[in-house]
Homo-oligomer: A and B are copies of this chain.
Amino acid sequence: MRTVKMKVEYEGTRYNGWQRQSSTENTIQKKLEMVFSKMERAPLEIQGAGRTDAGVHAKGQIIHFHTSSEKSPEEMMDYANEYLPMDIGITEAEEVHHRFHSRLNAKGKTYIYRVWNSKVPNVLDRKFVHRILEPLKLSEMKEGASYLIGTHDFQAFTSAKKKKKSTIRTIESIKIHSLGDEIQFIYKGDGFLYHMVRIMTGTLLDIGLGKREPRDIESIIKSGRREKAGPLAPANGLVLWEVHY
């Protein structure tokens, strides 16, 4: 058996997220497994580095799987791209050490959240930006973000129920910059909890709208309570940009 690593790009709009579910075939993981199982002529399991939510996109999702196929990684990529739907594509492929694991070996991830801050619509990018009409205060959001950087218990910034698993994560950087009417939030960290990027974004947007103070972030982190943080920002603005190894 060989182990293959691939980079996957997808538009999440019409999927129920990344993760295979028993109730629906309409997940990205399932679509990939169907195509590679066809190639393998046997059931094949795909592991992804990040379990993106329904509606979230990816530019650089990383997967791995084990295969007995004799095709080269590039031939496997071409095969998959022929059978995958238009909104999922493989953009890189290589053979890796048999112990490589896309999720467990990931040292970090970069997510980008795109906000379109204008009274005027962005038609061509509408599926990839969250539109906010009221003007956002960039410097306030940047200050708020500074309190999120570092190693913290992010229990307040996840929708996951309290479990035994650690909710401590390290955020290396949050860059917020504007390009015309677009504001991009670029999050880089060692890992992100369920809904964490979207809740951080929702909280920073509250700050940008003047509904909260930048310093509120400190007490939200301290509280460890989800209801203290801001709303869950919509899925469509988010893209899993890169997985770091």
Q: Which residues of A contact B (CB under 8 A)?
A: 9-11, 57, 59, 77-78, 81, 86-92, 119-124, 126, 128, 239
Q: Closest 8 interchain pairs by CB? A: A89-B121, A89-B123, A9-B123, A91-B120, A81-B121, A11-B124, A86-B126, A10-B123
List the B residue with the shortest CB-CB distance to A91.
B120
A123 touches B11 (CB 8 A): yes
Interface SS of A by simple majority? mixed
One complex includes copies of this chain to the number of: 2
List the B residue with the shortest CB-CB distance to A120.
B91
How many angstroms between the C-alpha atoms of A109 and B81 in the bound complex?
Answer: 37
A124 touches B59 (CB 8 A): yes
| Residues on B with beta carbons closer than 8 Å to the beta carbon of A87 | 123, 126
How many angstroms between the C-alpha atoms of A124 and B124 in the bound complex?
Answer: 11
| Residues on B with beta carbons closer than 8 Å to the beta carbon of A119 | 78
Given A9-B121, A81-B120, A89-B122, 4 other A-B residues pairs in contact with their CB atoms under 8 A: A9-B122, A9-B123, A87-B126, A91-B120
